A and B are shown apart, each in its own frame.
Chain A
Amino acid sequence: METLVYKRPESLLKNGRFTFCPGCGHGVVLRIIAELIDEYNLKNDTIAISSVGCSIFLEKFFDLDVAGASHGRSPCVATGIKRCKPEKFVFTYQGDGDAATIGFNETIHTACRGEHITTIMINNTNFGMTGGQASATTLVGQVTTTTPEGRKAELTGYPLHAAEIVAKCDGTAYSARVAITDSKNIMQAKKAIRKAFEAQIKGLGFGFVEVLATCPTNWHMTPSEAVQHITDVTEKVHCIGVYKDITEQEKL
C-alpha cells in the first residue's frame, strides 16, 4: 500500500528550485509558509512582499503575487497593500539585515500601528547575500567579514533582540522567536508561524516570527555544525520563546 509522505505545497512554483547555499535555513521556512498558505486556502488571496538580501527572490519560489520592496521597507509596502486590500493575506519575508537593521524603525512602527500583516524575519545574525558582514543581531564575539576578530561590545555594542522588542508594541498580536534546528523545533516554528498568520486572519494585529536560521557559508561551518551552533551558542543569546500571544482572543 502506498502512503503519501511528501506533497509539494501548491503555493510553491512547480518548477521553482531554491537557490540557497547548502544547509541554509531559508528553504525550510519558505516551505513552512507555503504549507500554511495551502492549509488556510490563501493561495489566491495572498500578496507576499520580498525584501533585500537572500530573502529577495520570492517570485522565483512562490506561486503567489509578489511585490518587491527596497531595503528595510517591506512593512511599509505591506501596509500600503493591506490598507487597500484588507481582505487579502499580506506577509513580508525579511532577514535580520533588513527587518532588524536598516528597517527596524519600520518594523517597530508597523507593530505599533497594529497593521494586520505578518512578518517572518530570518535571523542568521549576518548579512548573508553580501558575504557575511555583521548586522544588528550579530552576537558578541561572532566573527564576520566586518568583525574579523569577533564583534566587540565596546566598539559596536550588543545584538538587537527583535522578537522581544516587537512584543512590547501594543499593536502586536503575536511575537515569537523559533529555531529550525530539528524536527521538533521545525514543528514549533510552524506552530508559531501559524499563530502569526492567525493574528492577521482574525484581525487582531501585527504578527511577527523571528526564525533563527543557519548560514553555513558565512559562518564557515558545515551544515550540521551550523545547526549545532544555533543550539549551543545562538539560542543562548537570542532565546527561543513566545513573547506575546493574544491569538486566542476573538476579534473585538
Chain B
Amino acid sequence: MAKVLVKGNEAIAKAAIKAGCQCYFGYPITPQSEIGEYMGAHMPELGRNFVTAESELASINMVIGAGVTGTKAMTSSSSCGIALMQEAISAMCCAQVPGVIVSVMRGGPGLGNIAPAQGDYFQAVKGGGNGDYKTIVLSPSTVQEAIDLTYRAFHLALKYRNPVMLLADGILGQMMEPAEFGEYPYKDPDVSEWALDGANNRPARNIVSLHMPDGELEQLSNQLFEKYEKAAKEETTYEGFMLDDAKLVLTAFGTVGRIAKAAVIRARKKGMKVGLFRPITLFPFPDKQLHEAAKKADMILDLELNHGQMLLDVRSAVFGACPVEFYGRCAGGLLTPDTILEKVEKLYSELDSKKEAGVK
C-alpha cells in the first residue's frame, strides 16, 4: 500500500479499525479529539460500535464490558482524562481484561494546558491506580510507528489479557506525515477459553476483581507478575541508533526520541561519538539492553518533556555503569535539535577534558 499523508490522531484511529477494533468508547479532550471524530464517522458505517460516553470513567468501563467478551475495544483520552481511568485500569489488570487505551499527553498538572508534554510517563508506566499491577505501555515517535504500535497494542492486549496503553503526545497527535497502513500482522489468540458469552454447554464463568478468601489475591498477584515477566522476556523493544561506538548516549522516548535522533546526526557530523537509545516499550522497559549500552558509554544524557520521569528507570537500568545527566523542558516547552546539540557539545567537551586529566 502506498504512503498517505495523515495526521497522528487519525492514523491511530484508522490503524485501530484495521486492527479489528469493534468498539470505540470515548469522551472528547484536546489534543486527541480527532481520534473520536474519526471513529464517530467510520465505526457506524462499518457496523461497529461507537459511543460517546458520559465521562472517561464510563468509557473505560465500557471497554471493560467489551473486553470481558473478548472483543477488541479501545478508548482514547489525554492526561486528566486518563487520570479518571486509573481505577478501571487497575481493575482490568486484576481481572485480566484486555483493552487498548490511547493517551495523547498534554501539559499538566491539573488541567494544565493543551501543549505537548511528557509529564504522564509515571501515570502510564507506574500506574495511578491502586495495587500491584503493570500496564503494557508502547511509545511511538513517528506517525508510522503510531500505526504499527496501534496494531501491536491490540495484539498484546489479547495475548496478555491486560490493558495496553499507547502513549503519544500532542505533537505526534497533531502532526501530519507520510505513513503506510500495512495489513494487521498478528495472529490473535483464541478467546473462547475465558470470554463471557453465557454459560452455554459449559460451567458458568466470572471475570471479577474482588478476591476475598485468604491467600487468593496473593496467589493471583504472583501469577500476574509471572505474566509481566513473560512480557518482559518476549516483548521488550527499543531503537538503538549509532550506539556501537557512542561515548555519549542520549535516552529519550516518543516524539523527543526523533528530535534527539536529529541531534545525534548533527553531532556525528561534528565528529562527536553520540548515539541514541529509545525505549519503544516503556513497560516492559529495556533495562538490560540499556545497561549494556551504558557499560560501553562514558555518559548518558536523558531527554524528556518533563522534570525527569523516565530518568528514574534510566538510572535504575544504568545502575552506576556510567554517569546519567538530565535535560528537560515541560508543559509546552520544547526540546529542539539545536538546544539538545548545545547540551551535547557541553557534556562532550567535559568528557574529553576529564579523559585528558585521566579521570574515568
Contacts and interface: CB of A to CB of B under 8 A. Distances in A.
Interface of A: 13, 43-47, 49-50, 56, 58-59, 62-70, 73, 76-85, 88-89, 105-106, 108-109, 113
A216 B271 CA distance: 81
Contact of B65 (A58, A78, A109): A78
B310 to A, nearest CB: 29
B205 A80 contact: no
A65 B208 contact: no
Among B54, B91, B200, B206, chain A packs the most CB atoms within 10 A around the CB of B206
B316 interface: no
B25 interface: yes
Nearest to B57: A73
Contacts of A59: 204, 206, 208
B12 interface: no
Nearest to B66: A80
Interface string B166-200: 00000000000000000000000000000011111
Nearest to A59: B206
A148 B62 CA distance: 38
A66 B73 CA distance: 19
Contact of A73 (B51, B88, B207): B88
Contacts of A80: 23, 25, 61-69, 73
> 8 closest Cβ contacts across the A-B interface?
A80-B65, A68-B208, A76-B61, A44-B200, A59-B206, A109-B54, A73-B61, A80-B62
* B interface, size bucket: 35 or more
A46 B205 CA distance: 11
A49 B67 CA distance: 13
Among B58, B59, B65, B91, chain A packs the most CB atoms within 10 A around the CB of B65
B219 interface: no
Contacts of B53: 76, 109
Contact of B204 (A65, A105, A108): A65
A77 B62 contact: yes
A104 to B, nearest CB: 11
A77 B65 contact: yes
B156 interface: no
Contact of A109 (B58, B200, B208): B58
A132 B179 CA distance: 58
B71 interface: yes
Contacts of B204: 13, 59, 62-66
A234 to B, nearest CB: 29
A77 B68 contact: yes
Nearest to A13: B204
B198 A46 contact: yes
Contacts of B88: 70, 73
B66 A84 contact: yes
Contacts of B55: 105
Contact of A105 (B54, B66, B69, B95): B54
A65 B198 CA distance: 6
B126 to A, nearest CB: 20
A66 B58 CA distance: 19
Contacts of A82: 65
Contacts of A73: 57-58, 61, 64, 88
Nearest to B25: A80
A85 B61 contact: no
Contacts of A69: 61, 64
A44 B51 contact: no
Nearest to A79: B62
Interface string B68-99: 11010100000000000001100100010000
A77 B71 CA distance: 13
Interface in B26-75: 49, 51, 53-55, 57-59, 61-69, 71, 73
Given A73-B57, A81-B69, A84-B23, A67 B49 contact: no
Contact of A66 (B64, B65, B208): B208
Given A67-B207, A83-B23, A84-B69, A76 B58 contact: yes
Given A44-B201, A83-B65, A50 B23 contact: no
B210 interface: yes
B208 A67 contact: yes
B353 interface: no
Contact of B64 (A43, A77, A108): A77
A71 to B, nearest CB: 8
A12 B235 CA distance: 43
Nearest to B54: A109
Contacts of B221: none
B60 to A, nearest CB: 8
A79 B54 contact: no
Given A44-B200, A76-B57, 10 more contacts: A45-B200, A47-B196, A47-B198, A49-B65, A67-B65, A80-B25, A84-B66, A105-B54, A106-B61, A108-B54
A97 B66 CA distance: 25
Given A47-B198, A68-B210, A85 B58 contact: no
B65 A88 contact: no
A138 to B, nearest CB: 24
Among A58, A76, A89, A105, chain B packs the most CB atoms within 10 A around the CB of A76
A79 B87 CA distance: 18
B65 A79 contact: yes
Nearest to A64: B204
A63 B65 contact: no
Given A64-B204, A77-B68, A88 B197 contact: yes
